[in-house]
Amino acid sequence: MTSASDNGLEQRRELLDSWVEKRRQIACLEAEAAGLLAERMQLGRAESDEHPYHRDAIHRSMIAEYAAAGRVTQGSVEYAFTDAGFLHTSHPLVQQAFREGRVTAAHVREIVRAAGVVREAVNNGRADADALTLYDTVAVIVAERETAARTRVHLRELAAVLSGSTTTERHARARAERTVTLRPAGDGLAVLTIVLPEHLAAAILDRLTQLARAVIAGRRDHEPVLEPTDDGEDPIHPEDIAQDDPSRDDYAIFGDGTFTTDPTGPEVEHIPADTRTIDQVRTDLLIDLLLASDPSAANGSGLDNIQGRIHVTVAATTLAGCDDRSAQLDGHGPLHPDIARDLAGRNGGWSRLFLDPTGLVVETDSYTPTEAMRRFLRARDQHCRFPGCRMPLHRCQIDHTFDHAKGGRTEIHNLGHLCATHHVLKHPDIADDHRWTARQLPDGTIDWHSPLGRTYRDSPPRRVMFV
C-alpha cells in the first residue's frame, strides 16, 4: 500500500525533473536565439562591406532595432550579438552543447568571454589553433558540473595558461582602464560604477561586509549620543556628571533609548531603530568612508582595525622573482605576479602548498603558528563545499561531513568548510524528509544526497598547473 508520504516524495521528484527539463528546453531556445543573432551579424557584415562608409551607422541601427523589439537595453543587445558571433565562429563544441541544452545561456556567456585571451593568442600566433579546441572541451565539462560563476573562475585560470605569457601583459594594460562612472537609476538613485584591479575590489567588498556585520552586531548595544550640557572649550557631557550631582536631575535617559534634558518638557528625541539590510549598511558605510573618511559613530561601534581579506596562491619561484608566471586570486582568477609579490611583502600570513600532478592540494606547511588541519582545509576548499556555493572561507565553518555525534572522526577526510546556509541542511534537528546527507571521498570530493534521493558531487578546486 502506497502511503501519503511516498506519494508526496514522488510528486516532489516529478516536479524537480519537470523543472530541470524545462530549463534544458529554455537553453535550447536560447541557443536558437543566439543562432538568429549570428545570422543577422553575417547580414550586417555583408551590408557593411557593400557600404563601408556607413559601417558604423549600419551596426548602430541594427543594435537599436533589436533593443527596441526585445525591450532590452542596447548594451545588453550589443553583448548578446558579440557573444553569439564568437560562439558561431570560434566555439563549435560549446555551440553544440548549448543546442542540446547541456549548458545554459549564463554558462555560454562566461565561456565565450573568458576565451577572449585564448582567441587573441591564437590570432597573434602565440598559441596553437588547438588551444581553442582544448579550451572548449574543458569548458563544456566544467559547465555541465558547475554553476556559471564557478565556471567563470575555472575558465579564467585555464585561459590564462593556454594564452601563455599574455596574462601579465593584459593585466598591465587593463590596469590603465581604471575609471569611475555615474548614471541615473531613477527615483533619486544612481549607479556608481568603479573599474579597478580585482584584488582591490574583492578586498573592498570584504571590508565593507565586515564593517556592516560589526554595525549589525552592535545594534543591541546602541547607546544614545547626548549633546554636551556645556559646549565651551571644555565641554561637559551627561556621562561626566557624578550620580549625586543635583544638576543630573535635569537630564533623563529612559530605557527605550529616549532621552531629554527636561523630563517635564515636550522636547523628547527618539533614536529610530536600525532596520537596514546588510546591503543597505554596506552602501551607507561606503558613502561615509568616501565622504567623511570615517564611518558614522551614531550607527554602531567595533569598526576599528577591520581590514579586507583576500586569498592568493603564487609559486615560490614567482615570489622569489625567478619567473613571471601568473599568481591566482582564489575564487576569482589570475593575478599579476608583481601584485602578488607586493602583497607578500606586506603580509606574513602565507602558507606553503604541496600539489599533486593534477593540481590538487595534498599537504600544507606554514611559517605562521596556525593549526595544521585548518591550514590544510583552507588551502584545499577555497569556499563553501556545497555544490555551486562560492561563499569565501572566512564566512564558513569547518564541519564534520559524517556527524561527530554519530562517530565521525576529526580527520582531514571527514572535514570541510560549509557556510551557515548549507551547514544547516544536514543538521540532525531537520526532519528526515528535508535533511541532506554527505559523504566525503579520499580525494576530498563530497557527494551530497538530497531528500529526493539525488546525488550532487562537489570536487575540491584544483590549482591551475603552470607548465
70-82: pLDDT as tens digits: 998 888 899 999 9
Q: Is residue 207 part of a domain?
A: no
pLDDT for the residue 466: 43
- pLDDT at residue 299, rounded to an integer: 47
Tell me, what's the pLDDT at 367? 38
Q: Residue 368 above 50 pLDDT? A: no
What pLDDT, on a 0 to 100 scale, did the predictor assign at position 362?
A: 55
Complete DSSP assignment for 216-275: HHTSTT----PPPSB-SSS-B-GGGS-TT-GGGGG-EE-TTS-EES-TTSS--B------
Q: Helix, strand, coil: what percent of the chain each, to 5?
A: 50, 15, 35
Mean pLDDT on 210-232: 67
Q: pLDDT band at residue 446, thresholds of 50, 70 and 90?
A: very high
Q: Is the pLDDT of residue 177 over 50?
A: yes
Instruction: Tell me the helices (H) and strands (E) count for the chain, helix number first.
Output: 15, 14
Q: Mean pLDDT over residues 8-36, rounded?
A: 94
pTM: 0.61
Query: Is residue 181 in a domain?
Result: no
Average pLDDT score over residue span 160-184? 76
Give the chain's mean pLDDT. 79
pLDDT at 228: 56
What average pLDDT does the segment 207-226 reach? 74
Contact 460, 387 (CB under 8 A): no
Q: Using one digit for the tens of pLDDT, what is the confidence trace for 319-356? A: 778 888 778 777 677 788 888 887 777 665 666 666 66
Asked if residue 421 belongs to a domain, the reply is yes
For residue 423, being part of any structural domain is answered with yes
- Spell out a b/e string for 258-281, using b for 16 or more CB atoms within 10 Å of the CB, else e: ebbeeeeeeeeeeeeeeebeeeeb
pLDDT at 225: 53
Q: Domain containing 391: what range? A: 348-458
> Does residue 371 have a pLDDT over 70?
no
Q: CB atoms < 10 A from the CB of 337, how many?
A: 21
Mark out the alpha helices in 51-104 (DSSP H runs). 55-70, 74-90, 92-99
Contact between 384 and 422 (Cβ < 8 Å): yes
* Per-residue pLDDT at 95: 95
Are both 125 and 33 inside the same structural domain? yes
61-65, 117-121, 154-158, 265-269: range with lowest mean pLDDT: 265-269
DSSP state of 304: T
Quick one: average pLDDT of 89-99? 95
In a domain, 365, yes or no: yes
Report pLDDT digits (tens) over 119-153. 988 988 888 889 999 999 999 999 999 999 889 98
CA distance 304 to 253: 28
Q: What is the pLDDT of residue 22?
A: 96
Greater confidence, 2 or 452?
452
Mean pLDDT of 269-292: 80
Q: Cell 502506497 sits at which residue?
A: 2
Residues 238 and 132 in one domain: no
Residue-level pLDDT at 186: 76
Using DSSP, state whether 349 is helix, strand or coil: coil
The reported pLDDT for the residue numbered 172 is 72
Q: What is the pLDDT of residues 31-58, one digit of tens each?
A: 999 999 999 999 999 988 888 888 888 8
Q: Is residue 27 a contact partner of residue 103, using CB atoms and an 8 Å limit?
A: yes
Whether residue 35 is found in the same domain as residue 135: yes
Instruction: From 147, 164, 181, give the residue that closes a domain.
Output: 164
Q: Per the domain annotation, does 313 fall within a domain?
A: no
Domain count within the chain = 3
292 versus 350: which is more confidently predicted?
Answer: 292
307 in a structural domain:
no
What value does the mean pLDDT take over residues 393-419? Answer: 84
Residues 429 and 353 occupy one common structural domain: yes
Q: What is the mean pLDDT of residues 390-397?
A: 85
Quote the distance between the C-alpha of residue 216 and its chain's center.
21
CA 35 to chain centre: 30
Both 251 and 147 in one domain: the answer is no
3-state secondary structure of 192: strand
Residue 245: pLDDT band (50, 70, 90) is: low
Structure confidence at residue 224 (pLDDT): 52
Q: Which pLDDT score is estimated for 453?
A: 87
Q: Is residue 69 part of a domain?
A: yes
Residues 266 and 395 in one domain: no
d(CA 395, CA 209): 10
Banded pLDDT at 308 (limits 50, 70, 90) = low
Provide the pLDDT for residue 128: 87
Question: Of 164, 190, 209, which residue is a domain's last?
Answer: 164
Whether the per-residue pLDDT at 108 is higher than 50: the answer is yes
Reduced to 3 states (helix: H, G, I; strand: E, B; else coil), residue 2 is coil
| 271 and 257 Cβ atoms separated by less than 8 Å | yes
Boundary of a domain, candidates 127, 147, 164? 164
Give the pLDDT score at 369: 37
